[in-house]
Each structure stands twice: as C-alpha cells, then as structure tokens.
Chains A and B, each alone.
Chain A
Amino acid sequence: MSTVTTPPARHASEPPAPAPAADPRRGMRRRGRIIAVAFVLPALLLLGALVVYPVLFSVGRSFFDASGDRFVGGDNYTGMFRDPATLKAIRNSAIWVVVAPALLTGLGLILAVLVEKIRWATAFKLLMFMPMAVSFLAAGIIFRLAYDEDPDKGVLNAAVVGVHDTFSATSSYPTARARDGQGLTKEKDGAYATADAASPGSVVHLGLVGVRPQDLPAEARPAYPQASRTAGGDELTGVAYLDFTPGGGGTQGQVDPDESGLPKLRVEAVRDGETVASTTTAADGSFRLTGLDPGTYTLRLPAENFAPRFDGVSWLGPTLVTPAIIGAYLWIWTGFAMVLIGAGLSTMPRDVLEAARMDGASEWQVFRRITVPLLAPVLTVVFVTLVINVMKVFDLVYVIAPGPVQEDATVLATQMWLVSFGGGSDQGLGSALGVLLLLLVIPAMVFNVHRFRRSQS
C-alpha cells in the first residue's frame, strides 16, 4: 500500500499537518474512539453490574451488622478472627492451598511424562480425564459413600477391613462381657479373671452375657447337662456359658436349663501370674484343665476371646476429614493437570532431549534438568490456576463432611455461605469473609495476569 492512506493513531505525535487538513483527521479519531467505546460498553456494563458492583457492595455490607441497618465499622473483621469456626476455616483453607495444588501438579507431571511412553496413551488420558465430567456434587456424594465408616457401605473401609481380617484372626465373642459382681472381673487388657481363687478338684462356672443368640457359633449346645459335672483331684473344670435365658427368667450367676454353652473359648489356669495350663471349651461350653499341682489358681479368659471387631479407618472423623476431601478433589482434577502438562510436553523441542541423551544423560537427569525446567511455564500456570480453584472449593466440603464434623472440615467458602445463608443469617460477617477470600485470591490473580502479559509480549 502507498503512504497516502491514513496514518495509524500512534503517529499522532508527528508535527501537525496544516490546519485545514487536521480537522477531518481529528474527527475521524474521535469517531474511532466513540466506536471503540460503543463496542466496549456492553462488556463494561456487564462487568460493572456482575463484578464491580457486587464486590463494592460486599465491601460496604461487611461494615454493617446482621440486620444491615447498623454501621459497626471493623467489628465483623475483628469478630472473624475471634470466632473459632472461622479460624478453623482459615487454617483448613491454608492446608488446601498448600497441599492440593502441589500434589496435583506433581501427580499431573509424573503421569504426563509416563503416559508419553505407553502405547494406549489416549485411552489412558481419556480415563484420567473422565472424573472432570462428573459434577462436584455427584462426586461428593460418591465419595461420601466410599468413605462411609460402616464396612458394609463404604468401599474403602470394606477393603481395609478385608485386608486386616485376612492377616489377623477375628475373635469369636467381640461383644461378650461379664456382669458386674458375678465372680468375673475385667482386667486392664480386656481379659476376664475369676475374683476368687480355686484349687484343683473344684468346679467353676464362667457366665458371660452380651452375645446375641444368632451370633453364637452353630455348634453351641446347652450348658446345663454339664453344669453338675465333678472334677478329679488334679483338675479344674466347669462350663463357660451365656448367662442369659432368652425371653427373660433364669437366675443370674447360675446355669439355667435354657442357657447355651460358649464353645471355642480359651480358658487358662493362672498361678502367681503365670499361665500353667490352658484349654478350649467344647460345644457345650465345658472345659477341663488337668495335671495341676495342689495350690490356688485363678481362671482366666484371655483378651483374645473378646478382641473387638476391627472397624476400619474413620475417614470422615474430625482428624482425617480434610485429607479425605482433598483425596476426592485429587480424583477429579488429576486428569486436568495431566492433560495440560501433557500438552506442554508435546510442544517441547525433542532435539534438546535427544542431544542430552546423546551426551549420556540418564532418564532421570533428562527429566530433572531438561523436561522440568522447560515445562516450568506450564507448571506454573497449572499450579496458579489450581490455587485459585482450591480457594473457592465448596461443594465437595459441603457434601462430603457429615454434620458432626462439618466444622472440622469447613473452609472459607463454606464458612462464608454458612454464616450468611446456611442458618447464620449474618450477611455482614459473611461479606467480611467474602472480602477476605477476595484479598487472598488477588495475589494469585495478579500473578497470573502478569504471566499472561509477559508471555504475550
């Protein structure tokens, strides 16, 4: 094109042309500006109405009390840092921001690098990315179930309990216990021992309660026929029985006709703190400890008979709830981090890697010295995006944490909602929390915008 056409605006600083010629140019410039403003206006209006105004309103609202009528100055802000629930929310948010993005970026990087080397890379990526398609609410409900403490409901605890039970035997009577004042006393480790000493030749019955009839082993037989047995000179004998007559009746501490024996119970004879004989009860609960020297013994039912059932891990208890929810978050976002980092990886110049390998660098050295530094910009973008994302995490926390531990799991976003709408109905304090959240997100935002600018120029 020739130089006769209108010069672009940045030439405005050139010495002005003769007056008559300047007028149309200035008019054109003004028109250009008007057109520009006309184009920008809708966006500006939308931004103003949807972003700027709410932000300013929240800032203003945060200086008023719950009703919105009384100006309270900075009270909401000071109150915020005195309220234990909010402090916990701040602490939890900090844990989230430190742990979740770092773990995700690391996981994403490792998976992206490894996936490059496998044959079914696309299928694998697809699989990893799939949780992104699940809504947070649905994912929350899924994980709430997975983390359920009852092994019959929660798949994680079912696995934990399953593994535990294959390696350590379960006890036959986890719920059994002795009544107080019926001759058996509980020891510190959970075992039961007779209160009175017995010498060989005597008969001792051991009565327990707290076992449901349907929980008795199938081979259990009534204990009554054996209750009148006698002992030889060098033996201690008796029955271990369930001291409860179904339907009531019966005498406590006595073997009644309908009462069942307790089979497979380990019984020990203890003398001066040392176990000298032991046996296991028969189907009718009877036992016989033979070959005892004269002297006094106590009978002991060791704790292994009563070891409580292993309940698994209390995932949603106060201590583990935040790590558990972060776990659910990882499940959703790992695919995202992996795909983004994978994209950065595929645009990386291969010749550098080849050159390094030619020079004898090991795979680890290539990864550590070449891949990671070259990927640094992508890693930062992923990391910062995730930081911003983690700040506003709400649904997962709200859905997964059960009522009793909600306060232990709360983060700033849930706390903000709870305080303003979820029953607190103090929108002043809620706004203050919102402003705090905004202040915390701003540095990450500024950083991201800066990076974006730099990468464009």
Chain B
Amino acid sequence: MRRHPARHTTRRTALASCTALALALGATACGGDTPTAGGGKSLAGQQVTVAGTWSGTEQKNFQKVLDAFSEKTGATTQYVATGDNVSTFIGSKVEGGDAPDVALVPQVGVLQQFAKNDWLTELSTKTEDTVDSGYSPVWKHYGTVYNKFYGLYFKAAHKSTVWYSPDAIEQAGVKPPKTYKDMLTAGRTIADSGLAAFSVAGQDGWTLTDWFENIYLSQAGPDNYDRLAQHEIKWTDPSVVKALTTLGELFQDKQLVAGGQKEALSTDFPGSVEKVFGPDPKAAMVYEGDFVAGVAKDQFGKTIGEDADFFPFPAVGDGEAPVVSGGDAAVVLKDGKNPKGAMALMEFLATPEAAAVWAEAGGFLSPNKKLDLASYGDDTTRQTAKSLIDAGDTVRFDMSDQAPAAFGGTKGTGEWKLLQDFLRDPSDPKGTARKLEQAAAKAYQD
C-alpha cells in the first residue's frame, strides 16, 4: 500500500527537477547568448513562478515576455498553466503550501475573491506609480479591492467590435454604420441582397450577455452599468427592460438574424464566425470581441483587414459608443516563495517595454496607453488597441464576468440561460427582466 505513493513522489520529484534543469539550462543559454549592457542583474539565481490560464500560442508569446524579464534581471521564470479554473487551481496550491509567486486571473470576480481570502500582497508603490501614469484610472479601479491595489491588468480584450465581411457589405452597397439605428438599416439592406445581416451564437450564452452589455452600456450609461454590475439596481429597472426591448427588436427580425432565432440557438461561437467568414457565408456580420479575428484567421484563412474587418459597436440612441472590455490581471500571492522577484516582475509587466514584446508577437492588446501603437503587428489590431485606449475611463468590464459565476458564467443557468430563452421568444422583455432579477438575487445573495 505504502509503496505506491512513494513511487509516485519519486517520479514526480524526478520530473520536477528535470523540468527545473531544462528551464535552468534554457535560461542560462538564453542569458549567455545575449549579454546585456548595463543594468545590474539584481535577481540572478532567483526563480519566479507564474501561473496563468494561457496555453498554446498565448503561452508561447507570454514566455517571450518572461524571457525579456529574465534577460533584464537575471531571474529565471517558470510558467505553470492552470487550465480553465484558476480559482480552484490557485486555491489548492495555496492550501498545499505551493503557491506560485504571480498569478494571472481572467475575471474581476476571481480577483476580488482572492483579495477577500487574503491571498494577495498589495503591489509596490513603484508599480502603482507606473500604472497611475500609464493607465486610465478605470484599469486601476478594477484591480483594486478594499482600497488596496492588487491587480495589474497586463492583457486586455476589446468586446465592442462588430466583425464583417467587406465583400458582403460591398455587394449590398452599404458602409460600416456609425449608429445602432444605421446598423439595423444597413442590416436590412444586406438582407435584401440575400445574405442575413448577423449571425448570432445563441448556443453560447456568453455571446448574448455581451450583446446585452454593449447595448446597456451605451443606452443606460456607465453609471447605471456599474450599479447593475454591483446589483445595486435591480434587473427589473426600466433601463434594463429598455435595453432588452432594443435587443429583442434585433433578435426577432428574421432578416437580421441568420436562419432566424431557432438556428441562432443551435449556433455556437465558432459556428457563428464560420457563417460570416467560412466557405459558404450565410451572414455579413458577427458581433464579438477582438478574438473573432483569431478564429477568422486561423480557421478560415482570412487576411485580417482585407477579408475580415471590424467597426466599433455603434452608439445606441443618444448614448456614447460602448467599449466593453475584459482582461487578465497579474497578482502577487502572499504565500509565494519569492516576493522580491514577484514584485520585480510586476514592475516589469507594468512597463510599455513588456507589453511591446507580446504586441509584436500578435494576439494581444495592452491597456497601457504609453505603449507605442506602432508595436502592434497589423493595422486592425492597432485600430482595436487605439479604440480601447481612446475610450479611456469609459471602458467597462464585462458585466457577466463581474457577477457571481452562478449568474453570469454558467452554461444552462442564470443570465446565459435566460437570455437564450429571450432569444427564443423576445416578446416579453419585462418578464425576462423579472426572471433575471430572481436569478441575480439568488446568486448575489442579497
């Protein structure tokens, strides 16, 4: 009985030391090749462990950022992929006394949870100063819990972009619209040309919450948006009903939604991109964040900026054009083994220099306004980045990411499910608002 775990441990230790060795070798090789002029390698011989959800290409590109850090400070770094559930992963590591030094958390809610559990260290004043001068205050606000600055937003997402096929809208003879009303008019003209206006990914509830958030942020304004995100106003508020009515008008228009509501409900997110950029297009536009470009490029071989382009989600009614965003925040864990190295890494991540490394590699937006836009690899990304920076303090975080997971982040329940029901039958916005309020009250427990 006892031999089994022992053997297991041995194997694991062997594996770990092997990895460490490989990493050390890699790092020395790296450091040896490129001697840096000046700048004392103050952290030589120290190791900083970083945990994040990134894998694949993103992990590879983030590794470049970490390598730049190693080159600068002499510290070695180790990246651990957490899988999708960061909070469970970090939780078990903290309990087990093996916490990483730095973690990257993708949701505001998780950041707050970590802070409330007292797992985080406040960031150094040097990082704070860099953020004060380089970021819009809103980003600091989302990284602050109980007046303490814990989270540095390193990577951002822009979720107010409507992607379109230039061929399709040219065929219909319309131009990218500036207002929501124009967008619907243009959509109907596109429908006359034989193509549906939008493909809606109703099978993935989160795309519907993003639709709602953009309309709500523009129509009801950032203040109401914040209050609704905190559940300070109820979902039965007239502003919510109004936004739902606006959304319902689009949902129930057979000309605007590819295949109508029924088909939208059986379309997932990659499927919705395929309907616009795939081999047999069924719609001209698809709304979702900047990551649509990645799918269009990698899966359907489109050249971004030529075969696929975007326009900012237009302003609804008299409101400003919305900029809904998301991002990954870097935090320092209290139980990490190398607090000094962790702080140094945070100071580095806050600089435009660090952001530039990934920006050149692509698939990245930085909320750091000091980052030279020329660092981005292509025009479309540059435009998205510019739109995000220009929005300044009106940027708002994805509301469903701020809500408890039971309400804003679970397949088949809460906001996802209720908005899917709304897509199926958009005739009763008031009733939907009432159900949303019930679900929210339960999840926020207030």
Give me the interface of A with B, judged by CB distance under 8 Å: 66, 85, 148-150, 175, 179, 209-213, 215, 243-249, 314, 316, 401-404, 406-407, 410, 418, 422-426
Cβ contacts under 8 Å, A406 to chain B: 411-413, 417
On whether the beta carbons of B406 and A425 are closer than 8 Å, the reply is yes
On whether the beta carbons of B194 and A423 are closer than 8 Å, the reply is no
11 contacts between A and B (CB under 8 A): A179-B192, A247-B171, A248-B172, A248-B174, A248-B189, A314-B262, A314-B266, A403-B204, A404-B265, A406-B411, A418-B413
On whether the beta carbons of B410 and A402 are closer than 8 Å, the reply is no
On whether the beta carbons of A418 and B412 are closer than 8 Å, the reply is yes
Taking the closest CB of chain A, its distance from the CB of B423, in whole angstroms, is 8
On whether the beta carbons of A402 and B170 are closer than 8 Å, the reply is no
On whether the beta carbons of A423 and B405 are closer than 8 Å, the reply is yes
Instruction: Give A314 to B203 CA distance when docked, in angstroms.
Output: 14
Q: Is B193 an interface residue (CB 8 A)?
A: yes
Instruction: Give A404 to B191 CA distance when docked, in angstroms.
Output: 26
On whether the beta carbons of B203 and A404 are closer than 8 Å, the reply is yes
Q: Closest A residue to B416 by CB, please name it.
A: A403
Q: Is B424 an interface residue (CB 8 A)?
A: yes
Instruction: Give A245 to B194 CA distance when docked, in angstroms.
Output: 11
On whether the beta carbons of B405 and A215 are closer than 8 Å, the reply is no
Select which of A148, A213, A404 is within 8 A of B171 by beta carbon. A213
Taking the closest CB of chain A, its distance from the CB of B18, in whole angstroms, is 31
Leading 6 A-B pairs by shortest Cβ distance: A248-B173, A423-B410, A406-B412, A212-B194, A209-B192, A404-B420
Taking the closest CB of chain B, its distance from the CB of A137, in whole angstroms, is 16
- A interface footprint on B218-235 (CB within 8 Å = 1, 0 otherwise): 000000000000000000
Q: Is B205 an interface residue (CB 8 A)?
A: yes
On whether the beta carbons of B406 and A403 are closer than 8 Å, the reply is no
Give me the interface of B with A, judged by CB distance under 8 Å: 170-174, 189, 191-195, 202-205, 255, 262-263, 265-266, 268, 404-406, 409-414, 416-417, 420-421, 424, 445
Taking the closest CB of chain A, its distance from the CB of B81, in whole angstroms, is 21
Instruction: Give A85 to B195 CA distance when docked, in angstroms.
Output: 38
Instruction: Give A15 to B202 CA distance when docked, in angstroms.
Output: 83
Known: A212-B195, A246-B193, A404-B203. A425 touches B412 (CB 8 A): no
Instruction: Give A424 to B411 CA distance when docked, in angstroms.
Output: 11
On whether the beta carbons of B266 and A407 are closer than 8 Å, the reply is no
Instruction: Give A209 to B170 CA distance when docked, in angstroms.
Output: 17
On whether the beta carbons of B203 and A403 are closer than 8 Å, the reply is yes
On whether the beta carbons of A244 and B193 are closer than 8 Å, the reply is yes
Taking the closest CB of chain A, its distance from the CB of B86, in whole angstroms, is 15
Apart from A248-B174, A402-B268, A404-B424: 17 A-B pairs, beta carbons within 8 A: A148-B266, A212-B193, A212-B194, A247-B170, A248-B173, A314-B262, A316-B266, A402-B203, A403-B416, A406-B413, A407-B417, A418-B412, A418-B413, A423-B405, A425-B404, A425-B405, A426-B406
Instruction: Give A453 to B202 CA distance when docked, in angstroms.
Output: 54
Cβ contacts under 8 Å, B195 to chain A: 212
Instruction: Give A34 to B266 CA distance when docked, in angstroms.
Output: 64
On whether the beta carbons of A403 and B420 are closer than 8 Å, the reply is yes
Known: A245-B173, A248-B173. A149 touches B410 (CB 8 A): no
On whether the beta carbons of A150 and B194 are closer than 8 Å, the reply is no
Cβ contacts under 8 Å, B414 to chain A: 423
Known: A248-B172, A423-B406, A424-B406. A403 touches B194 (CB 8 A): no
On whether the beta carbons of B193 and A403 are closer than 8 Å, the reply is no
Q: Closest A residue to B173 by CB, please name it.
A: A248
Instruction: Give A246 to B195 CA distance when docked, in angstroms.
Output: 12
Q: Closest A residue to B171 by CB, please name it.
A: A246
Cβ contacts under 8 Å, B262 to chain A: 314
Residue of A179, A244, A403, A426 with most chain B CB atoms under a 10 A cut-off? A403
Taking the closest CB of chain B, its distance from the CB of A87, in whole angstroms, is 15
Taking the closest CB of chain A, its distance from the CB of B231, in whole angstroms, is 17
Taking the closest CB of chain B, its distance from the CB of A252, in whole angstroms, is 9
Taking the closest CB of chain B, its distance from the CB of A65, in whole angstroms, is 9
Q: Closest B residue to A149 by CB, please name it.
A: B266
Q: Closest B residue to A403 by CB, please name it.
A: B411
Instruction: Give A211 to B171 CA distance when docked, in angstroms.
Output: 12
Known: A418-B412, A424-B410. A210 touches B203 (CB 8 A): no
Known: A175-B194, A212-B195. A423 touches B266 (CB 8 A): no
Select which of A211, A314, A407 is within 8 A of B412 by beta carbon. A407
Cβ contacts under 8 Å, A401 to chain B: 412
Cβ contacts under 8 Å, B203 to chain A: 402-404
Cβ contacts under 8 Å, A150 to chain B: 266
Q: Closest B residue to A148 by CB, please name it.
A: B266
Cβ contacts under 8 Å, A418 to chain B: 410, 412-413
Known: A85-B413, A247-B173, A248-B172. A211 touches B194 (CB 8 A): yes
Taking the closest CB of chain A, its distance from the CB of B161, in whole angstroms, is 23
Cβ contacts under 8 Å, B412 to chain A: 401, 403-404, 406-407, 410, 418
Known: A247-B171, A406-B417. A210 touches B411 (CB 8 A): no
Cβ contacts under 8 Å, B194 to chain A: 175, 209-213, 215, 244
Q: Closest B residue to A176 by CB, please name it.
A: B194
Cβ contacts under 8 Å, B445 to chain A: 66
Cβ contacts under 8 Å, B174 to chain A: 248
Instruction: Give A248 to B171 CA distance when docked, in angstroms.
Output: 7
Instruction: Give A403 to B202 CA distance when docked, in angstroms.
Output: 9
Taking the closest CB of chain B, its distance from the CB of A70, in whole angstroms, is 11
Instruction: Give A423 to B262 CA distance when docked, in angstroms.
Output: 26
Instruction: Give A209 to B265 CA distance when docked, in angstroms.
Output: 26
Q: Closest A residue to B1 by CB, please name it.
A: A42
On whether the beta carbons of B266 and A402 are closer than 8 Å, the reply is yes
Known: A403-B420, A404-B265. A423 touches B409 (CB 8 A): yes
Q: Closest B residue to A209 by CB, please name it.
A: B192
Cβ contacts under 8 Å, B410 to chain A: 418, 422-424
Instruction: Give A355 to B202 CA distance when docked, in angstroms.
Output: 64
Instruction: Give A410 to B410 CA distance when docked, in angstroms.
Output: 14
Taking the closest CB of chain A, its distance from the CB of B21, in whole angstroms, is 36
Q: Closest A residue to B192 by CB, please name it.
A: A209
Cβ contacts under 8 Å, A212 to chain B: 193-195
Instruction: Give A179 to B195 CA distance when docked, in angstroms.
Output: 15
Instruction: Give A47 to B409 CA distance when docked, in angstroms.
Output: 37
Q: Closest B residue to A409 by CB, please name it.
A: B412
Cβ contacts under 8 Å, B406 to chain A: 423-426
Instruction: Give A243 to B227 CA distance when docked, in angstroms.
Output: 48
Taking the closest CB of chain A, its distance from the CB of B395, in whole angstroms, is 26
On whether the beta carbons of B413 and A244 are closer than 8 Å, the reply is no
